[in-house]
């Protein structure tokens, strides 16, 4: 895909964070550069999503100092879908630790679509990573709680702490996905068959479907991303949500698999960890700096927002966020050898 950024230099001249005015201007330019893109299609495999207006578009940047700026449909509610996977994994990691999760879920990309069944078959039932549906279901199965209701409440409260506000379920999307998620039920049954889910697999699918049906806005996911950028402290509420180690681990997982089989290309072009969802959201994290949210429902073949990718590519370069861009030579104060 042409992200149209080859003429945009990596802005790393000073290494200093961009000013609020720089961020505001960059958001507007990113919006204008992406608005004419009408490639891609709204997800319709969940019937309730099919009526979403394809033209919705919003961009929001939440910085770790608490500055939040946006343009367009940043207050339009949509269901979080796969973006939830990143934050549920972080909450589970906080509870049971990263070594156990590497073992049980994995951190390697599958090279396959998010809803792949084949990924399990090729790997002796090991889910490989928590960002595909198989690994996300296996992660949700590990959420603390004595009942599916307790697990659901743990997730809802935890994701609300990331967002800094009480998140609620979209009943219509939840019902619609529950009536059409036979594929996820199949994946959960397969995990059970491989002995990789301890509890009732259909209960796990139900909790997972609820977590995907939480309503958020682009502003909310920007703040959620900023919390990961800020080492686990929500920059709006000031509350610690997860540890610094869990943030590190979550960002590494996202870098490898946040945009599914296209994660390598995303990292190559954008140079930051990100997570997409089928409603058209993408949250991208510039560690120590900001959470970037885009929302535009038209998706490419991998299920990633077309405008969102272009807008984020511009912001990453323009704001000097790309982790792999060369830093200014010898700003350390040390004399050259």
Ligand X SMILES: NC(=O)CC[C@H](N)C(=O)O
Q: Which residues are catalytic?
A: 82, 85, 208, 260, 278
Tell me which of 303, 307, 311, 313 binds ligand X, using CB under 6 A: 303
Taking the complex as a whole, the smallest distance from the CB of residue 118 to ligand X amounts, in Å, to 16
Alpha-carbon gap, residue 292 to 286, rounded angstroms: 8
133 is in an annotated binding site: yes
Tell me which of 69, 81, 227, 263 binds ligand X, using CB under 6 A: 81
Q: Which residue is nearest to ligand X (CB)?
A: 82
114 scored as a contact of ligand X (CB under 6 A): yes
309 scored as a contact of ligand X (CB under 6 A): no
Contact 293, 60 (CB under 8 A): yes
Tell me which of 107, 278, 285, 286 binds ligand X, using CB under 6 A: 278
Taking the complex as a whole, the smallest distance from the CB of residue 278 to ligand X amounts, in Å, to 4
Taking the complex as a whole, the smallest distance from the CB of residue 177 to ligand X amounts, in Å, to 6
Q: Which two tokens stand for residue 318?
A: 């323009």
**Hey, how many other C-beta atoms are within 10 angstroms of the C-beta on 110?**
24
Tell me which of 72, 274, 277, 297 binds ligand X, using CB under 6 A: 277
For ligand X, the closer of residues 231 and 264 by Cβ is 264
Taking the complex as a whole, the smallest distance from the CB of residue 325 to ligand X amounts, in Å, to 29
For ligand X, the closer of residues 64 and 143 by Cβ is 143
260 is in an annotated binding site: yes
Binders of ligand X in range 177-196 (CB under 6 A): 177, 184
176 scored as a contact of ligand X (CB under 6 A): no
Binders of ligand X in range 128-167 (CB under 6 A): 133
115 scored as a contact of ligand X (CB under 6 A): yes
For the annotated binding site, the residues are 82, 133, 177, 184, 208, 260, 278
Query: Which residue numbers belong to the known binding site for substrate?
Result: 82, 133, 177, 184, 208, 260, 278
Residues near ligand X (CB under 6 A) are 81-82, 114-115, 133, 177, 184, 212, 277-278, 303
């Amino acid at each position: 895909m042409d992200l149209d950024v080859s003429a945009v230099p990596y802005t790393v001249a000073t290494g200093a964070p961009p000013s609020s005015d720089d961020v505001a201007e960059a958001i507007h330019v990113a919006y204008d550069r992406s608005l004419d893109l009408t490639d891609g299609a709204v997800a319709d495999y969940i019937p309730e999503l099919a009526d979403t207006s394809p033209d919705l578009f919003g961009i929001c940047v939440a910085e770790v100092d608490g500055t939040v700026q946006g343009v367009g449909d940043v207050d339009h509610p949509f269901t979080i879908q796969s973006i939830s996977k990143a934050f549920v994994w972080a909450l589970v990691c906080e509870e049971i630790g990263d070594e156990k999760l590497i073992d049980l879920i994995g951190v390697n990309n599958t090279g396959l679509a998010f809803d792949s069944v084949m990924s399990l078959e090729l790997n002796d039932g090991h889910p490989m990573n928590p960002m595909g549906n198989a690994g996300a279901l296996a992660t949700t199965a590990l959420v603390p709680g004595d009942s599916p209701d307790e697990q659901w409440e743990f997730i809802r409260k935890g994701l609300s702490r990331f967002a800094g506000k009480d998140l609620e379920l979209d009943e219509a999307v939840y019902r619609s996905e529950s009536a059409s998620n036979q594929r996820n039920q199949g994946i959960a049954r397969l995990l059970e068959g491989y002995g990789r889910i301890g509890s009732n697999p259909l209960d796990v699918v139900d909790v997972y479907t609820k977590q995907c049906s939480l309503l958020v806005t682009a502003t909310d996911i920007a703040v959620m991303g900023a919390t990961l950028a800020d080492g686990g402290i929500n920059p709006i509420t000031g509350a610690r949500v997860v540890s610094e180690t869990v943030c590190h681990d979550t960002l590494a997982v996202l870098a490898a698999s946040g945009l599914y089989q296209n994660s390598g290309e995303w990292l190559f072009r954008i140079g930051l960890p990100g997570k997409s969802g089928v409603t058209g959201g993408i949250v991208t994290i510039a560690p120590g700096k900001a959470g970037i949210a885009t929302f535009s429902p038209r998706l490419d073949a991998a299920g990633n927002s077309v405008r969102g990718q272009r807008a984020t590519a511009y912001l990453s370069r323009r704001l000097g966020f790309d982790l792999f861009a060369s830093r200014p030579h010898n700003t350390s104060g040390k004399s050259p050898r």
